[in-house]
Amino acid sequence: MRYKYSLLAAFFLLLNGCMSQAPIKTVPEVNLKSFMGPWFVIAHIPTFIEKNAFNAIESYELNEDGTIGTTFTFNEGSLSGPVKTYHPKGFVMKGSGNALWGMQFIWPIKAQYKIVYLDQNYQNTIIARDDRDYVWIMSRQKKIDQDTLKNLVKKIEDDGYDIKKLRWIEHAN
């Protein structure tokens, strides 16, 4: 009987593995110095802490030890809502071309952070996860032209995300 349950459990694990989507490809190479600085969050499938975020900005700073100091700020609930600030730390994974990070909000957990799109001028980026649970479209500007935005959303959709879940971030002028 025990053998039967083990076989059944193995079958469901195998089935689950077959149904999962392939990993999302990162960009080949990220120049970390060029990537540093502020990024406006244009749209996202949010985590629980940012479901009501307005004026969302993610800013990166390269630390001497090679980690990424991160400051994530936003107004909670409205453009004039209280300011929330978080300071996760990014850990660049070796051999990833600097495009795969572990983002640590609380020790010892490092959430997957994949740079899956980055234009050549470091003006627009997409951060994704293989689980397709969260995604962020970010730009150096508060707004992106419609053609570029359409292409970024198409990329997210092509990577297997449900784009109906995208939440658009409003920024103060």
- pLDDT greater than 90 at residue 135: yes
Greater confidence (89 vs 105) lies with: 89
Question: Measured between alpha carbons, how far is 160 from 20 in angstroms, rounded to an integer?
Answer: 11
Average pLDDT (85-97) is: 95
Is this prediction's pTM over 0.75?
Answer: yes
Two structure tokens written together for 52: 């009501």
- pLDDT greater than 60 at residue 170: yes
- pLDDT greater than 50 at residue 17: no
Question: Measured between alpha carbons, how far is 120 from 137 in angstroms, rounded to an integer?
Answer: 16
Question: Measured between alpha carbons, how far is 160 from 131 in angstroms, rounded to an integer?
Answer: 10
pLDDT for 20 equals: 65
Question: H/E element holding 44?
Answer: strand 37-45
- pLDDT greater than 50 at residue 14: no
Of 15-29, 30-44, 148-162, which gets the smallest average pLDDT? 15-29
Average pLDDT (118-146) is: 96
Greater confidence (18 vs 112) lies with: 112
- Residue that has been written with the tokens 């293989």 in this structure: 130
Report CA dihedral (115, 117, 122, 125) to the nearest 10 degrees.
-80
Question: H/E element holding 7?
Answer: helix 2-19
Give me the chain's average pLDDT, please: 89
CB 91 within 8 A of CB 83: no
Instruction: Give the percent of the chain with pLDDT over 70.
Output: 88
Greater confidence (26 vs 4) lies with: 26
Nearest to 160 by CA among 122, 119, 121, 114: 114
End-to-end CA distance of the chain: 67
Confidence class for position 110, pLDDT limits 50, 70, 90: confident
Question: Measured between alpha carbons, how far is 173 from 80 in angstroms, rounded to an integer?
Answer: 12
Q: How far is CA 120 from the centre of its chain?
A: 19
Give the DSSP letter of residue 172.
-
pLDDT for 7 equals: 33
| Positive or negative: CA dihedral 71, 127, 68, 144 | negative
- Residue that has been written with the tokens 């997210």 in this structure: 156
